[in-house]
Each structure stands twice: as C-alpha cells, then as structure tokens.
Structure 1
Amino acid sequence: MGGPEMAPHTPPLAPRSSPGLDRSGEQPATAGERNVVSDAPVITTARVDVRETDLSGRERDSLMLTAEERRWGRRRVTTTAGRALVLALPTGSVLRLGSVLHVAADWYVVVEGALEPVLAFTPASPEEALRVAFEVGNRHFTLALDGERVLVPDDPAMGHLLTRLDVRFDRVRAVFVPIGMGHRHER
C-alpha cells in the first residue's frame, strides 16, 4: 500500500546536532558519569514568559536542536557550554525556539534551532505554493516558510515529489521551524 514517498518522515541516521542525545554506539556510562547526570537539572516544562530582568547578570547558554529533536521530550541533552540537562517533558510537548528551559543562579538555557538539511524553493506562483503544500501535507511531511522560500525536509520522498512537480529547489542547511508545530486545538 503506497510507496516510500507515502511514509512519514523518520529521522535520518546521522550525527545528532546536540552531543549527548543518546548513547547509541558508545560504551555504557561509568559510575562517574552517572553522578554527573544525576546532578543535572530535570526539566519538566519550558518557559516562554521569562522577563529579561530575571535573566540579567546571568550567562546565556543554549540547547541547539533540529525540528525533530524539539519533539523528543524525554532524554538527556548537553548544552553548547557542556552543561547536562535531563528533559522530562509531558508527552506530546514540542520545544519552541526562544523557550527558556532552566534558570540557575548564574546561568540560563534557551532553545535554539540547529541548522539542518532541507530542500528550499521559491514558489513561482500562489498556485504552485498551494499545490506543493497540499502534496507535502498529503504525505504527512511538514513544511516551513523562510521569507519567500518554502522549506521541506531533505528526504528522498520530498526530492522526488518536487522533481515530479517540476519545482526547482536547492539543497541547503537552515533552521527548520515547521508550520503548526506545537499548535493544539483547544477550546
């Protein structure tokens, strides 16, 4: 039923943008490592409403994540400054760019988007934009807007789709912020 272009996007088997997201292929943790991880702050919610005055005088640290990684709410991560955090977010959580994950006495951590491989194109017309958006969504992929450009994951199915639709595209690296990520239908 359907072909590979119908399959939902699965993360590529490539190095993670943030060191320490998993231990695949590595040696088991040593007792010393377990102590470091157990001392790591456990993050159960992301805060987007932190006032600048609450952060003044503190060192800004960041957690660089791809769009897919921002959906993985339960894991150990390492910030750009090498600090360990443990994410224990509610199921279905999606981290938003700019969210403050943790505020310590002298530092804080903000979510930032990592550059990732995407296919980018500028639609020739509104009709082309709608046609591509429909086809991408019909295959259960996400898309993002970057100025006048449309971005889709650099996946073979998306490359085949854009080629079949005769849409000229470039392979680039960009921060991918899918439309509607984290949106909920609440009353």
Structure 2
Amino acid sequence: MTRVAEILPAGSWNESDAADIFAADYEGRHRRRMMLALRSGAKVLLELEHARLLHDGDGLRLEDGRIIRVEAMAEDLMEVTAHDPLHLLRLAWHLGNRHLPAAIGGQRILVRHDHVIADMVRGLGGHVHNVRAAFDPESGAYAGRGAGHAHGDEHHHHSHD
C-alpha cells in the first residue's frame, strides 16, 4: 500500500507536478488516518499522528515521490455578509467566539450550515445567503499549517470548555 510521506502546503510546490487528485469536502479532508480514493481510482494511505485539515492546493508527497493535489469540493455553505468592514469584523468575532470553522474573505465569511448561527447573524444585523462553494477554513493559531511530515506536527490543543 502506498503511503503519504509528507504534506506540502499549498503554494510551496508546483501544481503542474501533480500525478493525481484527492478531492473531498471539508469533512473528507479533516482526517488523521484513512484510505484516500484518488480521481484515477487508485488509493493511498494517509496516517497522521493528529487529525489535520488538508487544504485546497496542498500536495501529498507519496513514498514513491509522486505528488497528489488536494482539491476542496464545493458544498452547501452559509455566506455571511455585513453592512461595512467593521460590521463584518464584529460578526467574525461572534463566529470565532463559537469556535466555528470559517473561511474569511474581505467581503464575506463562509461557514457550514447551522440554523442557530444563521439566526444569531441575522440578530446581529448581518445577512446570510446559502451558497455552494469550496470550504477551506482558517486553520487556527496552533494548527501547524506549515510544511510537515505525515507523522504529524508537534502541537497541542487546550480546551477551555
């Protein structure tokens, strides 16, 4: 069985070198250990020390040297927009306070569907629209998004709940 030897962060490798593609939604890209079904029909083993989100454009260097491109598939999301940049910043603070995965852009924030969160955003004067897009949320301060070997990054998460 061919294994993933190293995760190459998006932008750190030449995507034209990709030998195949692993395409999945957010849930399918946030894993510790699984068989990855590639577009060609081949399968490779991902085995990490800790669960990690594979981002759109990341490369998976296999033991044999081939590189597999990670592709974030479109999924149903909520697009949060605001009246102005300061209002969007305030909405981002409220979303972050709930520890939600979020993809933050200059004009919008994408989050996964949750009717309670939609009601909260509307109650804060924000707008919620259903969209279909690739979901590639921010990693977080301790996620170790830099280059790393497949055995995992040395970091720890502390819960404040």
Task: Tell me the TM-score range normalised by the shorter chain.
Answer: 0.7 to 0.9
Matched residue, 2:123: 164
Following superposition, the deviation at residue 46 of structure 1 comes to: 1.2
Q: 2:74 and 2:46 mapped to 1: Cα distance?
A: 21
Following superposition, the deviation at residue 106 of structure 1 comes to: 10
Q: 1:94 and 1:145 mapped to 2: Cα distance?
A: 16
Bigger RCO of structures 1 and 2 (CA < 8 A, at least 6 apart): 2
Contact 1:44 1:89 in 2 (8 A): no
Contact 1:44 1:90 in 2 (8 A): no
TM-score, normalised to structure 1, is: 0.63
Contact 2:59 2:69 in 1 (8 A): yes
Q: 1:93 and 1:60 mapped to 2: Cα distance?
A: 22
Aligned equivalent of 2:107, options 137, 148, 152: 148
The 5 A counterparts of 1:14-163 are 40-48=1-9, 49-50=12-13, 55=17, 60-103=19-62, 108-146=67-105, 148-163=107-122
Contact 2:5 2:63 in 1 (8 A): no
RMSD of the TM alignment (CA)?
2.9
Q: 1:161 and 1:98 mapped to 2: Cα distance?
A: 32
The structure with more radius of gyration: 1
Following superposition, the deviation at residue 84 of structure 1 comes to: 0.9
Q: 2:34 and 2:103 mapped to 1: Cα distance?
A: 26
Matched residue, 2:159: none
Q: Which runs of 5+ in 1 are unaligned?
A: 1-39
Please list the CA deviations of residues 46-65 of structure 1 after superposition, one character each: whole Å capped at 9, or x if unmatched.
13444578x3xxx7321112
Please list the CA deviations of residues 110-146 of structure 1 after superposition, one character each: whole Å capped at 9, or x if unmatched.
1111111111133211231122111111212121124
Count residues in correspondence.
143
TM-score, normalised to structure 2, is: 0.72
Please list the CA deviations of residues 139-177 of structure 1 after superposition, one character each: whole Å capped at 9, or x if unmatched.
121211245222111122322222222322210111112
Please list the CA deviations of residues 4-51 of structure 1 after superposition, one character each: whole Å capped at 9, or x if unmatched.
xxxxxxxxxxxxxxxxxxxxxxxxxxxxxxxxxxxx312243134445
Identity %: 24
